Amino acid sequence: MANETTAQVNPSKDHKSEFDALVVGAGFAGLYQLHCLRDRLGLSVKVLEAGGGVGGTWYWNRYPGARCDSESHVYWYTFSPELMREWEWSERYPGQAEILRYLNFVADRFDLRKDIQLDTRVVAATYDAAANRWRVRTEAGQTFTAKFLITAVGCLSTANVPNIPGLEDFAGEWYHTGQWPHEGVDFTGKRVGMIGTGSTGIQAAPVIAASAEHLTVFQRTANYSVPARNAPLTAEFLRYVKDNTGEIRAITHETLNGMGFRIEERLAVETHPDDRESLYEAAWERGGLQFRAVFQDMLTDKKANDTAADFIKRKIRSIVTDPEKAAILSDIDHPYAAKRPPIDTDYFETYNRPNVSLVDLRQAPIERISRVGIRTTEAEYPVDVIVFATGFDAMTGPTLRMNISGRDGLTLKDAWGAGPVTYLGLQVAGFPNLFTITGPGSPSVLTNMPVAIEQHVDWITDCIKYLNQKGLDRVEARADAADRWVAEVNEMANKTVFPLATHSWYLGANIPGKPRVFMPYAGGMVRYRQICAEVAAGGYEGFTLS
């Protein structure tokens, strides 16, 4: 997709290399962190960004149908009421191009570009204890140093192209959805094979099918999806947003996961089946992630969850006319929302098109990619284009690939060898003055991300301000505090149905060899925000300050 907002000048290739703080990544997190440290604390800050433009996730994920699952009036920054009034969304869910325009608007509005260096991938970061500075090296061989290093690299930014034998021999084109060509891909007259039915594949399939000669979807794990019911926003709703910026921000701070809706108090297990059905039906019609809000116990009680799962499976079978396809699509092996729940526009309906077929990889796994297509243990499917909608090395991947070494030569890779160990998802013991925005152990991917990001950035900003005010130079998570936090993360996860989806990327299970640890904090944003605030109010309890 050609996008005028990405043709950017790169004004920041100057020679200064020493800063108070380095921020890696210029998506939602990096942009706001730059604004806070530079404009509120007066620090010298440089943002290093691998992409050719700002926007993070929304710079890279340009696949057909790419759209946010959070509703637009809560998927933005809320730190500035003026900014909320100046920007106007066009649809209930913002599309990729519109979010990218928004982030570019923010970069201009707060004059951020001059401190962002684009096309700059960080390949190493080493803590120099004697100097108390982080030394950061880029792919091009530039070095920078700073007292504080802040990773704003996102949770889903390391593309996972599965290691399927034969890809190098494939005669056609192939793409990963998270590294989509800016000029777009023309599917006209092409036979397309798409691997993956997560949120991405579910968004992409209907759009690809509309222009391709034929689309074959390769499904390993059947997935739930609820209609998004996307639509243009009315003038009345836009007026409501402009008039209620404070209330909108307040709601996202009060809800479990920073969304714009509250989860109902009622329990599925105590609701009469007829009433339950009506409530689910109404939620299906309303559409969106809000489906999860129908009952309080949906994610904590398997029996309650079963009622939602059963409803959606019946919906799938009622939409998809071919009984064989319907059976494959509705044969879902995990609780609803235990893996990230997608929302869609005409996903299941797409299987009723004559040019769409479905391959059940559970029955016959992919064996290899041949010169002409995708070969399973049962058949070969000739294709001209392969789309890998195969997700990401989530949560730890983007941070680990920066080759971070802390105190006494401890590498992050070793520190996280058995799975990520963090304190509050914000810091790692052994890595002084390193902050990880929406790191593993924080609510991150279980929330509406901008809300989690603003909370982290504000907390980090306050922490650095505190150090400066007290004449302190160093903050480091204590190992015992981190261990206690990991126990809390596990305890919260075990109160939910999340761990029952044993193959989810929340657990790292999509990446061969990755430790299986439930990575995000499932205790909810409200509880998490309160814990973080108490830690700060208590003089940064659990951290060593020196």
Give whichever of 388 and 543 is closer to ligand NA7, judged by the CB atom: 388
Binds ligand NA7 by CB under 6 A, chosen from 198, 430, 439, 508? 198
Q: Nearest-CB residue to ligand NA7?
A: 198
Closest CA to 494 of 517, 471, 466, 470: 517
Q: How far is the CB of 66 from ligand NA7 (least distance, A)?
A: 9
Binds ligand NA7 by CB under 6 A, chosen from 56, 65, 193, 201? 201
389 binds ligand NA7, rule: CB under 6 A: yes
| Sites for ligand NA7 among residues 128-167 (CB under 6 A) | 156, 162
What separation in angstroms does the CA of 204 have from each of 29, 100, 252, 338? 26, 18, 28, 22
Give whichever of 67 and 249 is closer to ligand NA7, judged by the CB atom: 67
Q: How far is the CB of 473 from ligand NA7 (least distance, A)?
A: 37
Give whichever of 194 and 426 is closer to ligand NA7, judged by the CB atom: 194
329 binds ligand NA7, rule: CB under 6 A: no
Give whichever of 460 and 507 is closer to ligand NA7, judged by the CB atom: 507
Give whichever of 342 and 523 is closer to ligand NA7, judged by the CB atom: 342
Q: How far is CA 428 from the centre of its chain?
A: 21
Contacts of 397 (CB under 8 A, 6+ apart): 157, 158, 160, 511
Count CA within 13 A, CB hemisphere, residue 275.
9
Binds ligand NA7 by CB under 6 A, chosen from 293, 510, 523, 532? 510
Distance CA 97, CA 58 (A): 8
Contact between 75 and 233 (Cβ < 8 Å): no
Contact between 163 and 511 (Cβ < 8 Å): no
Binds ligand NA7 by CB under 6 A, chosen from 199, 290, 405, 427? 199
390 binds ligand NA7, rule: CB under 6 A: yes
Give whichever of 224 and 543 is closer to ligand NA7, judged by the CB atom: 224
Binds ligand NA7 by CB under 6 A, chosen from 93, 170, 435, 505? 505
62 binds ligand NA7, rule: CB under 6 A: no
Q: How far is the CB of 26 from ligand NA7 (least distance, A)?
A: 19
Query: Residue 145: what residue type?
Result: T
Q: How far is the CB of 272 from ligand NA7 (least distance, A)?
A: 33
Strands laid side by side in the 173-176 sheet: 173-176, 385-388, 191-195, 214-219, 356-360
Segment contacting ligand NA7 by CB under 6 A, of 253-261, 305-313, 314-322, 390-398? 390-398
Distance CA 527, CA 140 (A): 42
Q: How far is the CB of 417 from ligand NA7 (least distance, A)?
A: 23
Distance CA 513, CA 508 (A): 9
Binding characters for ligand NA7, 211-240, by CB under 6 A (x = yes): ---------xx-------------------
User: In terms of DSSP bridges, do strands 133-138 and 122-128 run parallel, antiparallel, or are they unpaired?
Assistant: antiparallel
Segment contacting ligand NA7 by CB under 6 A, of 39-47, 80-88, 244-252, 384-392? 384-392
Give whichever of 5 and 200 is closer to ligand NA7, judged by the CB atom: 200
What does 52-119 look like in DSSP terms, one character per residue? SSS-THHHH---TT-B-SS-GGGSS--S-HHHHHH----BSS-BHHHHHHHHHHHHHHTT-GGGEE-S
The beta-strand segments (E) located in 163-236 are: 173-176, 191-195, 214-219, 226-227
Distance CA 36, CA 55 (A): 17
Query: Residue 541: what residue type?
Result: E
Binds ligand NA7 by CB under 6 A, chosen from 6, 33, 104, 197? 197
Segment contacting ligand NA7 by CB under 6 A, of 138-146, 291-299, 370-378, 389-397? 389-397
359 binds ligand NA7, rule: CB under 6 A: no
Segment contacting ligand NA7 by CB under 6 A, of 22-30, 36-44, 398-406, 503-511? 503-511
Q: How far is the CB of 290 from ligand NA7 (least distance, A)?
A: 16
Q: How far is the CB of 4 from ligand NA7 (least distance, A)?
A: 25
Binds ligand NA7 by CB under 6 A, chosen from 340, 375, 456, 529? 340
What separation in angstroms does the CA of 536 have from each of 23, 29, 95, 116? 22, 20, 37, 29
Closest CA to 440 of 474, 470, 472, 415: 415
Q: How far is the CB of 161 from ligand NA7 (least distance, A)?
A: 9
Query: Residue 120: what residue type?
Result: T
Strand partners, 192: 215, 385
DSSP letter (8 states) at residue 410? -
Strand partners, 174: 386
Kind and range of the H or E run holding 50: none
Give whichever of 193 and 391 is closer to ligand NA7, judged by the CB atom: 391
Give whichever of 73 and 340 is closer to ligand NA7, judged by the CB atom: 340
| Sites for ligand NA7 among residues 439-458 (CB under 6 A) | 445
Distance CA 102, CA 97 (A): 9
Q: How far is the CB of 232 from ligand NA7 (least distance, A)?
A: 23
Cβ neighbour number for residue 210 with a 10 Å cutoff: 15
Segment contacting ligand NA7 by CB under 6 A, of 189-197, 290-298, 396-404, 458-466? 189-197
Contacts of 538 (CB under 8 A, 6+ apart): none
Contact between 406 and 430 (Cβ < 8 Å): yes
Binds ligand NA7 by CB under 6 A, chosen from 65, 196, 420, 499? 196
Query: Residue 44: what residue type?
Result: S
Binding site for ligand NA7 (CB under 6 A): 156, 162, 195-201, 220-221, 340, 361, 366, 389-392, 445, 503, 505, 510
